[in-house]
Amino acid sequence: MKVSKKNIAITGVAVSLAAVMLVGGGTFAYLKGETDPITNSFRTNQVQVSLEETTGNEYNIIPGTTQRKDPKVTVKNSVDAYVFVEITDETDNLVDYAIADGWMPVDGVPNVYYRLVSAIQDIKEFSVLKNDEVRYSKALENHDMTDGSGSLKRDINLTFNAVAIQAEPFANEEEAYKAKDSVITSDADVIEAAIMDRMPVVLSADANVDSAVLDRAGADIDLNGQELKIGGTTPIALNNNKSISLKDGTLVLDNRNGRRVGIAIFEGGSLELNDVNMTTNEVSMVVDRGTNNATVDIIDSVITSTDNYVLSTNAGDPETGANVVINIKNSTLITQISDSTAVLMNIPGTLNIEDSHLEANRQGLIVRCGNATVKNSTVKSNATTNMIQQNNWDYYDSNKWKSGNEVPVAAVVVGNRGAEGAISYPHDATLTSINSSFITASNRHVYAAGYNGHTATLNGIDSADVIQSTGFGGNVVIHS
């Protein structure tokens, strides 16, 4: 192979440099910096509780007397803790007693009392009963002591139990008490068993459950910063006062089905999402048709949907369904497909939106009937003029509306165009805006319709931002 002079010259330079490095034997210093180490120390903690009595466990009921009884709770805690005393009273009103000072009742839980014990407080022993005693009324007679057969009553018991649990991260004593029986797991079978036993669950790692499990019993799940994926092929039906509470983590609703409904709330049902980052895959949350007295609370959460809705009501029969309350606070609800609406309200219920953001590509919010308040929030429609024309969505500007979001395009739609065969809800619609913004890409901020003898009322909205449509005895009222 022929080697050019140019290549020879370059090779010679490389050899020379190598020779200098070898002969010189020198070292090369790099510019560098280094910090001193910082050591973080983590202190372990504990919460322990004990319950003891010195006065024994056997007592004689003697009317008009008092007996010493001194159950005492002792707490050993290096962090602040809630301490609970549970009292099971099976004394058939034969034994009188009072709870010692400092104990307070737990709301909604009979015969359970609590106190908050600081880690640094000196006193850690507490009497349960006032004056460490029980009393027997002087009005008790022989017949009070006997059963229907004339025999002395048996199994007259007064039972105490103490529980202590760390105060953080619970918001109050009710949350702490509810968590005391939690099952900590990520195993699907254990989660299912806990749900069927009506026990709260705390996730210890990411987990997967089938929608049928939640459908049978509802659930109270602390996601604990983990991800819960709900699969399956059936909607979760919250009926017969069934409830689901999910908080503090990531939720993937992936139970795709023919109805495109992930969670359906029925009569007496309730749904709470608190501090949840949620994705719904081709399913939505629906307050189902004919539902009364249901509640939905979405708090401090972000929900992203690939369905036509994030949350909707279903008024298949416009004569049924009422008293539904939906609260959306400090949350973001966004749908990501073109033909979409973030929230649809079409039953005579109450919708409260506060410090939140709703966003969709057709309508951000529809209030076909009922009362909606939007406070310190933004509602956005991403529909452009071209998108509206291409999809023929402007058809509903001057024609009868259909079901769902087959209504005019706007950031917010209020009221209903119903007559001559169109879907007509026999109710008024009211929207109250307080320090809120309605954002559009098509200059359609609010579309209000009053038809068929009903009124759409707008409070706190500039009439210049409203497209109005009325007919058949209906009316639009605007209070700027």
For 246-261, the pLDDT digits (tens) are: 999 999 999 999 999 9
> At 198, is the pLDDT very low, low, confident or very high (cuts 50, 70, 90)?
confident
Cα distance between residue 445 and residue 439, in whole Å: 6
Give yes or no for residue 210 having a pLDDT over 90.
yes
For 379-435, the pLDDT digits (tens) are: 999 999 999 999 999 999 988 888 889 999 999 999 998 755 456 778 899 999 999
Give yes or no for residue 37 having a pLDDT over 60.
yes
Q: What is the token pair recorded at 14?
A: 């490389």
> At 26, is the pLDDT very low, low, confident or very high (cuts 50, 70, 90)?
low
The mean pLDDT value of the chain amounts to: 89
Q: Which residues lie across from 287 on neighbouring strands?
A: 265, 313
Give yes or no for residue 289 having a pLDDT over 80.
yes
Q: What does the pLDDT read at residue 6?
A: 36
Give yes or no for residue 476 having a pLDDT over 80.
yes
Give yes or no for residue 351 having a pLDDT over 80.
yes
> 318 or 266: whose pLDDT is higher?
266
Closest to 449 in 3D by CA, of 428, 479, 473, 470: 470
Looking at the fold, whether 156 and 202 belong to one and the same domain comes out as: no
Looking at the fold, whether 382 and 452 belong to one and the same domain comes out as: yes
> At 12, is the pLDDT very low, low, confident or very high (cuts 50, 70, 90)?
very low
Looking at the fold, whether 209 and 345 belong to one and the same domain comes out as: yes
Domain hosting 121: range is 47-166
> 35 or 329: whose pLDDT is higher?
329
Q: What does the pLDDT read at residue 16?
A: 37
Give yes or no for residue 8 having a pLDDT over 70.
no
Looking at the fold, whether 210 and 347 belong to one and the same domain comes out as: yes
Domains contained in the chain, number: 2
Looking at the fold, whether 111 and 200 belong to one and the same domain comes out as: no
Looking at the fold, whether 140 and 211 belong to one and the same domain comes out as: no
For 65-84, the pLDDT digits (tens) are: 999 999 999 999 999 999 99
Asked whether residue 16 is domain-assigned, the answer is no
For 139-191, the pLDDT digits (tens) are: 999 999 998 888 999 999 999 999 999 998 888 998 888 888 889 899 999 99
Asked whether residue 380 is domain-assigned, the answer is yes
> 40 or 15: whose pLDDT is higher?
40
Q: What does the pLDDT read at residue 45?
A: 79
Q: What does the pLDDT read at residue 7?
A: 39
The percentage of residues in the chain with a pLDDT greater than 70, rounded to a whole number, is 91
Give yes or no for residue 21 having a pLDDT over 80.
no
| Cβ count near 343 (within 10 Å) | 28
Asked whether residue 21 is domain-assigned, the answer is no
Cα distance between residue 406 and residue 412, in whole Å: 13
Q: What does the pLDDT read at residue 19?
A: 38
Q: What does the pLDDT read at residue 308?
A: 95
> At 317, is the pLDDT very low, low, confident or very high (cuts 50, 70, 90)?
low
Looking at the fold, whether 123 and 214 belong to one and the same domain comes out as: no
| Residue finishing a domain among 166, 193, 221 | 166
Handedness of CA 254, 258, 261, 267 (dihedral sign): negative
Q: What does the pLDDT read at residue 38?
A: 80
Closest to 446 in 3D by CA, of 480, 472, 419: 480
Asked whether residue 174 is domain-assigned, the answer is no
